[in-house]
Structure 1
Amino acid sequence: MSSRLHDAAPGEGGVLLSRGGLRVRLAQGAADVAAAQRLRGLAFFGPEGGADVDPLDTRCSHALIEDRTGQLQACFRYLWLDTSAEIGNSYSAQYYDLQRLAGYGGPMIELGRFCTRPGLVDPDVLRLAWGAITALVDRGGARMLFGCASFAGTDPAPYAEAFGFLAARHAAPERWQIGAKAAERVAFAPAEAEARGVMRLIPPLLRTYLGMGGWVSDHAVVDRQMNTLHVFTGVETAAIPPARAKALRTIAG
């Protein structure tokens, strides 16, 4: 991991950012990582599903968003890549052909396993998480954020309108087009749809990416282990709308 990214967490205990009764900090050891894995399991699989443990966890940094009592409210992990040539080592590369993005240049951050405690209704938790991500981007000079945005379930039928909208309005630029790799996938057919109606079908995290100018692959991958359909999403940090970038930097301080 780049030393520049270590500079993004100067606070005691790995604290990245704190506001009011909330703080974002980096996991400091196995117990912190295990807590994140338990919350992920609760969010993704329910109370009987057990912890969500993935082999990439050992190579990622884990961010924990806690309330004033120390209870974990949300978490995400990120993989810092010093250069786009390393993108083949990412989680997303298991499912997508990312050959074109290998030539993008500069540092990248892959975000993954972003989740909140079930039933959470505090928007400040997500705002603080994005403030911390903004600090990581700025202090490390990341040129792109990317990851897999997940739709619940493996049946594409309920999301046909959303997939058509994504293909028509938010397709990746041709020069960065994401290639197919997974055996089980769902191709998108571009279709016009009213944004107001279709946005309810799009997961909140993906809506956030789109609001930052993000773009997506032309297909979804069927992930039966996670019981999701996931879509590759990229956000070129230099292309984030100025008003959105200003708001994020205000949170990041």
Structure 2
Amino acid sequence: MTIEILESVSALRTMSVPVPSPAIVRARPPREAAPASDVLGRIGPLETRIARTASEIDAAQALRYKVFVEEMGARVPAGAALLGRDIDGWDAVCDHLLVLDTSLLGPSEAQIVGTYRLLRQDVAAAADGFYSASEFLVDPLIARHPGKRFMELGRSCVLPSYRTKRTVELLWQGNWAYALKHGIDAMFGCASFPGTVPEHHALALSFLHHTVPASGEWQVKARPELYRVMDLMPVEAIQARAALSAMPPLIKGYLRIGAMVGDGAVVDEAFRTTDILVVLPITNIAGRYLNYYGADATRFAL
């Protein structure tokens, strides 16, 4: 997602799951600070890289709590609320992409202003699967592509005062560099509309259903017990410009890059959102974005 298509940052996330004991997440052995070469990109005082320590992961969870719970009104389990953290069992196995403001004083975890959670297919297979499988049937999608490597994007958020082009560009610089490093062939994740009434987003959901469906080998559906219809308006009644204007910026950004959407929406009562699944094969990414970030992710590299 580049600056021309993002006015603010929404969250990529899926349904809440039971909160593990804080020790599960915080007991990860602290790692030695990685060398400066692990920085994936930098614009001015902002830099992006993967979290190096347990305390940085904790700070990312605190940032997510501020955005999802305090700002967006999400409901989290009591244990998470007491901690002031958005936390679940996947945090211990995912990599946490960070944007840090290096101009701020204090430890690195105090500088974290944006985050994304990344889960590679090989890691998911060794753990509890993909997080978004709680809402969408992602296993059949992956099974149809035995030679491809998938990566799930989730829990994306940025502090309000940092919702600018630089922060967003660095998050996507980090995602792209990470995908190249790990040989990723396709990304996917949930994107959200505010509220739990899909009909309130009839225009946008219908536009997505009719114009950018993930079909053929990329088809993926919402879980049948959670499935909500996206085809809420006849195609002849849809005005593309109005539909795009009605979409959250994050979803519009994915469309411009070359993403497709799955069949069916899911209402997430805990986070008070209506979710769709976004699927983005690397080969679908529009050439102008590849040129912008660099085929080797050097656009904002050091």
TM over 0.5: yes
Question: Partner residue of 2:64?
Answer: 40
CA distance in 1 between counterparts of 2:195 and 2:188 reads 22
TM-score norm. by structure 1 comes to 0.87
Q: What number of residue pairs does the alignment pair up?
A: 244
Question: Partner residue of 2:286?
Answer: 241
Question: Partner residue of 2:116?
Answer: 76
Among 129, 154, 157, the residue aligned to 1:89: 129
CA distance in 2 between counterparts of 1:95 and 1:18 reads 35
CA spacing shift, 1:84–1:59, aligned 2, 3 Å: closer
Kept in 1: contact 2:114–2:167 (CA 8 A): yes
CA distance in 1 between counterparts of 2:218 and 2:195 reads 27
- Judging by fraction of residues, say which structure has more strand: 1
CA distance in 1 between counterparts of 2:269 and 2:117 reads 21
Among 33, 37, 46, the residue aligned to 1:22: 46
Alignment of 1:174-213 (within 5 A): 174-181=216-223, 183-189=225-231, 191-192=234-235, 193-213=238-258
Among 54, 59, 63, the residue aligned to 2:97: 63
CA distance in 2 between counterparts of 1:11 and 1:135 reads 17
Q: Provide structure 2 residue ranges, at least 5 long, that are not aligned to the other structure.
A: 1-33, 74-80
Q: CA deviation at 1:197?
A: 1.5
Kept in 2: contact 1:146–1:233 (CA 8 A): yes
Q: CA deviation at 1:228?
A: 1.2
Question: Partner residue of 1:218?
Answer: 263
Would you say 1:110 and 2:152 are equivalent positions?
A: yes
CA offsets 1:19-56 (integer angstroms, 9 cap, x no match): 21110121122211111111111111116863211221
Question: Partner residue of 1:129?
Answer: 171
CA distance in 2 between counterparts of 1:182 and 1:52 reads 27
Q: Provide structure 1 residue ranges, at least 5 long, that are not aligned to the other structure.
A: 1-9
CA offsets 1:91-135 (integer angstroms, 9 cap, x no match): 111211121332223212111000111243421100011111111
Per mean C-alpha deviation after superposition, the further-off stretch among 119-128 and 163-172 is 119-128
CA spacing shift, 1:194–1:117, aligned 2, 3 Å: same
CA spacing shift, 1:34–1:86, aligned 2, 3 Å: closer
Would you say 1:54 and 2:95 are equivalent positions?
A: no
Would you say 1:101 and 2:135 are equivalent positions?
A: no
CA distance in 2 between counterparts of 1:86 and 1:238 reads 26
CA distance in 1 between counterparts of 2:228 and 2:161 reads 30
CA offsets 1:51-110 (integer angstroms, 9 cap, x no match): 211221111000110112153221011001249988981111121112133222321211
Kept in 2: contact 1:14–1:28 (CA 8 A): no
- By relative contact order (CA 8 Å, sep 6+), the higher-ranking structure is 2
CA spacing shift, 1:138–1:242, aligned 2, 3 Å: same
Question: Partner residue of 1:5?
Answer: none
Question: Partner residue of 2:206?
Answer: 164
Question: Partner residue of 2:299?
Answer: 251
Kept in 2: contact 1:162–1:198 (CA 8 A): yes
CA distance in 2 between counterparts of 1:219 and 1:150 reads 13
CA distance in 2 between counterparts of 1:84 and 1:90 reads 6
Task: Indicate the SS of the match to 2:262.
Answer: strand
Kept in 2: contact 1:84–1:107 (CA 8 A): no
Q: CA deviation at 1:234?
A: 0.6
Question: Partner residue of 1:3?
Answer: none
